[in-house]
Amino acid sequence: MDEPTASVGPVIVGVHRGQALAVLMEAARLAAELGRPLLCAYVAEDSYLTEWDKPDAVAGESLHPTEVGAGEGDAVIALSGAIDAALSGTDASPEWSLRLLAGDSAKALGRLAAETQARLIVVGTHRPGFANALENWLAGSVGARLTHDQGVPVVIVPATTKEHATPTLA
């Protein structure tokens, strides 16, 4: 029996500054076990207005942003260094790359999964605390929204309080 088309691509992991390393490390382990490349995806924090563009322009601008905030280049460089440092000293070190996206995080990750025929998407849970609970209440959980809208498996890595005390990305 042939495998579904969605299973030929990379393992996508949503990354951001301050994220628990457990999310990246679990995604790297899964990518290595599946023999897939790891595609780290960072959604520019100030790019949510991309979703308000004309419908025919949203996907292109989300996947290949032409306008991002001044600090986003620094964020991508910092994340790239942090990802490289985290993965270079591990047994599970798949081929990896980092991609800058724009727009709503869940929608941008979903578009990337469709474009790359991703095998699966990996995201983490929110950090504990009032500010993160408020963000979850206002914007919703990226992981929860992905599980409702995707045709590929979504893995949500729970980040415990202990893991939040460990090193984070950038």
CATH assignment at residue 151: 3.40.50.620
How many domains are there within the chain? 1
* Residue at 138 is within a domain: yes
Q: Is 70 exceeded by the pLDDT of residue 58?
A: no
* Residue at 134 is within a domain: yes
- The residue that leads in pLDDT, 52 or 166, is 166
What is the residue range of 159's domain? 5-164
* Residue at 169 is within a domain: no
If pLDDT is split at 50, 70 and 90, which confidence band does 86 have? very high
Q: Which amino acid is at 105?
A: S
Closest to 154 measured CA to CA, from 169, 142, 168 = 142
**Through-space distance between the first and last CA atoms of the chain, rounded to whole angstroms:** 43
Q: 49-58, 62-71, 120-129: lowest mean pLDDT where? A: 49-58
* Residue at 86 is within a domain: yes
* Residue at 140 is within a domain: yes
Interatomic CA distance for residues 120 and 70, integer angstroms: 31
Local structure of 147: helix, strand or coil: helix
* Residue at 170 is within a domain: no
* Residue at 80 is within a domain: yes
Average pLDDT over residues 73-101: 88
- The residue that leads in pLDDT, 111 or 54, is 111
The bridge status of strand 96-101 relative to strand 120-124 is unpaired
Q: Is 60 exceeded by the pLDDT of residue 57?
A: no
Percent share of the chain, pLDDT over 70: 66
> pLDDT digit string (tens) for 94-149?
999 999 988 888 888 999 999 999 999 999 886 655 555 555 555 567 777 787 77
* Residue at 79 is within a domain: yes
Task: Give 64's contacts (C-beta < 8 A, 6+ positions apart).
Answer: none
SS3 content of the chain, % helix, strand, coil (to 5): 50, 15, 35
- The residue that leads in pLDDT, 102 or 71, is 102
Closest to 15 measured CA to CA, from 66, 78, 89 = 78
Give the model's pLDDT for residue 59: 59
Average pLDDT over residues 74-103: 88
Task: Give 106's contacts (C-beta < 8 A, 6+ positions apart).
Answer: 140, 142, 145, 146, 149
Place of tokens 């941008």: 108
Give the model's pLDDT for residue 162: 66
C-alpha torsion 90→123→150→38, nearest 10: -20
Structure tokens at 26: 């679990």
- The residue that leads in pLDDT, 81 or 3, is 81
